[in-house]
Structure 1
Amino acid sequence: MRFIHTSDIHLGKTYRTSAGEAERYEDFFRMLGSIVSDAICEQVDFVLIAGDLFHTGQILPRTFARTIETLQPLKDANIPCITVEGNHDWIHRRDSISWMEALSQMGYIHLLRPTRTDNGGYRFDQFDPETGMGGHIEINGLNIYGLGYIGAQAGVHVPRICEAVETKNNILLFHVGVWTFSPVEIGNMQPAESLPLADVFDYVALGHGHKPYVIETPDGRSYAFNPGSPERVNFGEEGYDKGYWLVTVADCKYATEFRRTAPRPMKSVSVSLDGAESVDQALNHLRDQLAEKLNGVGERPLIEMKVTGRVRFHPFELGRERLRSLVEELADPLHVEIKNHLSLVTGRGLEETERRNLEEIERDVLHELIGANSAWKGKEDELVSLATAIRDQVLKGDTEGEELFALLK
């Protein structure tokens, strides 16, 4: 038997403030479509998606329609697509319709979700095609169990998960990271906490972290695999391999091959303008450095640029649009994100030198505005952090109201 294990597809993600919004939106559907084509070409028995099929739980109708269109060839080929929910797939609002449930009821995916018992344990009911629900599905002798995202305490749940499984030839689909391997900061468990899974499951199909990795038992047996995201989702991922696992099962042994994908080019660059006396001098220096750093970056890349250094002009004079125009001139990017971390030198002598960057100035202004209302006195730091966090999310251009609402809550 053979199957594909992928994860963190993030359908629906784009940059809503960018001219490249439509093309970036299509990147993720093209990537899923290429994996679907590979699955049909390789004649695999099933496809596993270990969570975060969508970028947000509340998706646009066109995203749902494009998902059906992309998965249709897999359904036509009678290749089951077995999924769990990741943290991005969650519906946070009460009584909301889950698009994952709808896809499962329509037969485009098989959504696995366990039932919790009264004593806090797990029960993996057999998947019911009529309702599109269940925690366990059997395909040609392989028993596939599914767990979505269960948060930062996932490691505590491992013994209960193992106790609920009584079959052999088992696969676990689990949206969780493992510390020291996963690059994300939340939703992880310790390697020692994950180790009991190796006694019950022959293959643990992980998701959540966008960097691929493999976890072994102390005796060297590989048992848990994370494919990462096949497309580059966030800046900082340009150094990760991108792809999915193609797995062959023979005589109860799992042979894995990492198949690389072709994501959109991405580049994060940092440029120092330390010592610049004027905006014109800074721009000339910036142009020279960027020409070298962006050479060979690829066609229509995603670029994040950070400018640093102590300068003799006010950082506001080198605004985002001016910096963005320079990057666009040199690299023709699909999308640009600017981080202006310049510091202002207000005195010439060492004792008189004061460094102020944009972030500090913004925080001071917000702190004063919030503190002017006596109802908020004592909470200035907390509310300033909240305001800047919301601002940062909105500037990225890919945040839904649901995520901003979660920050407020």
Structure 2
Amino acid sequence: MTVRFLHTADLHLGKSYRNSPGEAERYADFFRCLATLVADALRERVDFVLIAGDLFHTGQILPRTFALTIETLQPLKDAGIPCIAVEGNHDWIHRRDSISWMEALSQMGYLALLRPTRTADGGYRFDPFDPESGLGGQLTLKGLNIYGLGYIGAQAGNHVPRICAAVTTTRNLLLFHVGIWSYSPVEIGNMQPDEALPLAEVFDYVALGHGHKPYIVSTPAGRPYAFNPGAPERVNFGEERYDKGYYLVTVDGDDYRHEFRPTAPRPMYSLTVDLEGAADAETALERFRARIADKLGPLADDRRPLLELRLTGRVGFHPFELGRERLRLVLDELCAPLHVEIRNHLSLVSAGGGAVTEKKSLAEIEREVLRELIGSRSDYRGREDELVRLALAIRDQVLKGDVEGEELLALLEHHS
């Protein structure tokens, strides 16, 4: 029997930019992306759809996000195409006395949420999925046994032997929200390639999620066994370098043929603009205009882009004179961006008495203060640079609202 399925992950429904003029349009991007995947699944007449975690951007979503999710998934339900999912770290709800949005979707029949049971000795038990309760760890479709395991934290590799020991069937697939070090661009929630390798002995196809960059993991003999499609929409700056899409998989007997199908994410650019030597703000602004126009070139996409800009260089005026609003007016003329984030790393250079004095940028001052505070503790000496990077990374994630408490804890544990 030939079986076809669509494998996606990290849809991040509900993601937007808080208090940004483009908030509503950016919010809609992720639902448009899911709607495209649903339409592709219908057109390709797949037997089922796999979502390997992070359907939502946060566990506590708005009611309208839930309503739009139902509306977008409705065509799959109407067509009788099962949607099987696991929870990612962003889907987690920490108040376990409350039903999660993922559990609600499962009970309503819009997806089958797979979640194993833990045994008294710390092992795993994959109970058959019960459509009535919307709970279970395993289901069988078209002769394939599909097991599900969501995000289990920074020590995921230690759980692999227990996961494998709980599976006694053949023709197995595993949905697992985890990354593989050396492939995944994320900092936490990964396991080493050798820790993941035993999965290849039990599962014919491991459907990964978590890292937003697509990759394929193979055994030492060269057999591909684990696949991460990445996020089909660009979620964070830096992802403009990644291919975006999903896997369309065809199974003939024991033969798995995977095809990466590209999606059409919103244009995103991370640019560094060097304003070295600009004597005044007006000169810097004109140089900024020319360099942005050169870097962007002709825009092939009609959608308003997302921009992250880093201003660098030593200048002869106070960096505050080149304010965000002045820069935004120039950008609106050039490309009318939907959302802009600007990091001002300009430093002031002043001449006096024949000597040139360079004043540090705000970012440099911030790093130096942190380094001094960290280095004042003898326990941390020799690790100052590493811990400064960690502190700034946590600061940035918290300000963007893109991180949950468990992720911060795992990040700290990774550096402890």
- TM-score for both structures, normalised by structure 1: 0.90
Q: Which residue of the other structure, out of 288, 291, 294, is the alignment partner of 1:289?
A: 291
1:60 — aligned with what? 62
Shift of 1:343: 1.4
Superposition pairs of residues 240-251 of structure 1, within 5 angstroms: 240-251=242-253
Shift of 1:320: 1.9
1:304 aligns with 2:308: yes
Shift of 1:96: 3.5
Count of aligned positions: 394
Q: Deviations over 1:9-62 (max 9, x none)?
A: 000001122111111111100110111111111111100000000000000000
1:338 — aligned with what? 342
What amino acid is aligned across from residue 56 of structure 1 in structure 2?
T
Superposition pairs of residues 135-284 of structure 1, within 5 angstroms: 135-284=137-286
Aligned counterparts of 1:222 and 1:386: Cα–Cα separation in 2: 34
Contact 1:315 1:358 in 2 (8 A): no
Q: Deviations over 1:47-90 (max 9, x none)?
A: 00000000000000000000000000000011100000001101
What amino acid is aligned across from residue 90 of structure 1 in structure 2?
W
1:320 — aligned with what? 324
Q: Which residue of the other structure, out of 30, 43, 46, is the alignment partner of 2:45?
A: 43
1:379 — aligned with what? none
Q: Which moved more, 1:303-312 or 1:47-56?
A: 303-312
Local SS of the residue matching 2:91: coil
Contact 2:89 2:407 in 1 (8 A): no
Superposition pairs of residues 97-112 of structure 1, within 5 angstroms: 97-112=99-114
Aligned counterparts of 2:265 and 2:363: Cα–Cα separation in 1: 32
Unaligned stretches of 5+ residues in structure 1 = 371-383
Aligned counterparts of 1:14 and 1:197: Cα–Cα separation in 2: 35
In structure 2, relative to structure 1, the CA distance for the partners of 1:174 and 1:220 (3 Å cut) is same
Q: Which moved more, 1:350-359 or 1:315-324?
A: 350-359
Q: Which moved more, 1:85-94 or 1:186-195?
A: 85-94
2:385 — aligned with what? none
In structure 2, relative to structure 1, the CA distance for the partners of 1:163 and 1:407 (3 Å cut) is closer
Contact 2:250 2:258 in 1 (8 A): yes
In structure 2, relative to structure 1, the CA distance for the partners of 1:53 and 1:192 (3 Å cut) is same
What amino acid is aligned across from residue 314 of structure 1 in structure 2?
H
1:134 aligns with 2:136: yes
Contact 1:324 1:338 in 2 (8 A): no
- Seq. identity, %: 71
Contact 1:323 1:338 in 2 (8 A): no
Local SS of the residue matching 2:241: coil
1:121 — aligned with what? 123
In structure 2, relative to structure 1, the CA distance for the partners of 1:96 and 1:364 (3 Å cut) is farther
Contact 2:31 2:69 in 1 (8 A): yes
What amino acid is aligned across from residue 321 of structure 1 in structure 2?
E
Local SS of the residue matching 1:238: helix
Contact 2:245 2:263 in 1 (8 A): yes
Aligned counterparts of 2:71 and 2:309: Cα–Cα separation in 1: 36
Shift of 1:316: 1.4
Q: Deviations over 1:303-358 (max 9, x none)?
A: 11111111121111112222222212211111111111111224568986344112
What amino acid is aligned across from residue 107 of structure 2 in structure 1?
Q
Contact 1:243 1:260 in 2 (8 A): yes
Local SS of the residue matching 2:163: helix
Contact 2:154 2:189 in 1 (8 A): yes
Aligned counterparts of 1:131 and 1:365: Cα–Cα separation in 2: 54
Local SS of the residue matching 1:356: coil
Q: Deviations over 1:267-317 (max 9, x none)?
A: 111100111111111101111101111122432111111111111211111
Q: Deviations over 1:248-270 (max 9, x none)?
A: 00011100011111111111111
Aligned counterparts of 1:332 and 1:36: Cα–Cα separation in 2: 30
1:69 — aligned with what? 71
Q: Over aligned residues, Cα RMSD in angstroms?
A: 2.7
Aligned counterparts of 1:184 and 1:348: Cα–Cα separation in 2: 47
Aligned counterparts of 2:368 and 2:194: Cα–Cα separation in 1: 44
In structure 2, relative to structure 1, the CA distance for the partners of 1:183 and 1:53 (3 Å cut) is same
- TM-score for both structures, normalised by structure 2: 0.88
Local SS of the residue matching 1:353: strand
What amino acid is aligned across from residue 273 of structure 1 in structure 2?
L
Contact 1:390 1:404 in 2 (8 A): no
Contact 1:52 1:85 in 2 (8 A): yes
Contact 1:307 1:342 in 2 (8 A): yes
Contact 1:9 1:229 in 2 (8 A): yes
Q: Deviations over 1:181-206 (max 9, x none)?
A: 11111111111111100000000000
Contact 1:115 1:124 in 2 (8 A): yes
Aligned counterparts of 1:168 and 1:56: Cα–Cα separation in 2: 35
